[in-house]
Structures are given as C-alpha cells and as structure tokens.
Amino acid sequence: MKKCVAVGLGVFLAIAIVGIARAETVTGEVVDTFCYAAMGAKGATHRQCGLDCAKKGAPVGLLENGTNKLYVLLPAKDKTAVPEAAINKMGEQVSITGKMYSNGGSTFLTVESVK
C-alpha cells in the first residue's frame, strides 16, 4: 500500500511540474504572426504593416534568433493586452522575459519585460 501511495505521489508531482510555466528570456525580432506565417514578412521594411496588423488584432510574435522558433506573445495577466512596449518594437531586435507555455504544438511567452 505504501508503495502504491509513493508511486501515485510521484506521478502526481511529475504531472504538476510539467504544467508549471517557467520564466525565460528570449531574444529575437518582434513580428506580426499573420504576415510572417503567410509571407515570411519581417524586418524594418515590414515595420509599419506589422504595427497596423497588430493594432487590428493580429497576434504579435517573437522570432527567436538562431532557431527561428516563433513564440506567440501573451499579456502577463488575463483580460489585458500585450504591452505596447512589445508592439512598438515591431521589426526590431528585443529580449523579452516572461513565462513560457507550450500547448498543442504552439509555444507562448508572456511579456513581463522588454529590453
């Protein structure tokens, strides 16, 4: 019986640890996810279009340097928007610190600070 409880507790802890978001800092370019996904658009030449798309509701992402992994940016709290500090860096290189989540093959990063 003790062994079953110990195994059950171990499984529970393993599941709990997987579900916990971890704080990360990711460096890359801020992009609007629609134009990047559909056309590969990015960089300073796409800045204004990216800003316009973000202001109309297109999700904002961070394209990681070196890996080209795309993180969908999320606000730090529910029922808030992605900070303007991140959106205003469209087409620029930044370091964003926040909590990382993965679900359904997508990776998300909350925006807690932008440098």
88 domain-assigned:
yes
> Using an 8 Å Cβ cutoff, are 99 and 21 in contact?
yes
97 domain-assigned:
yes
**Side-chain half-sphere exposure of 39, counting CA atoms within 13 A:** 10
11 domain-assigned:
no
Mean pLDDT of successive 10-residue stretches along the chain, which has 115 residues: 45 46 93 97 98 97 98 97 97 98 96 97
| Predicted pLDDT of residue 46 | 97
10 domain-assigned:
no
| Predicted pLDDT of residue 22 | 80
| Predicted pLDDT of residue 1 | 53
List the domain range (segments joined by +) for residue 94: 22-114
> What sign does the CA torsion over 13, 96, 87, 32 have?
negative
| pTM attached to this predicted model | 0.81
Percentage of the chain surpassing pLDDT 90?
80
Query: What is the CATH classification number for the domain harbouring 104?
Result: 2.40.50
| Predicted pLDDT of residue 49 | 98
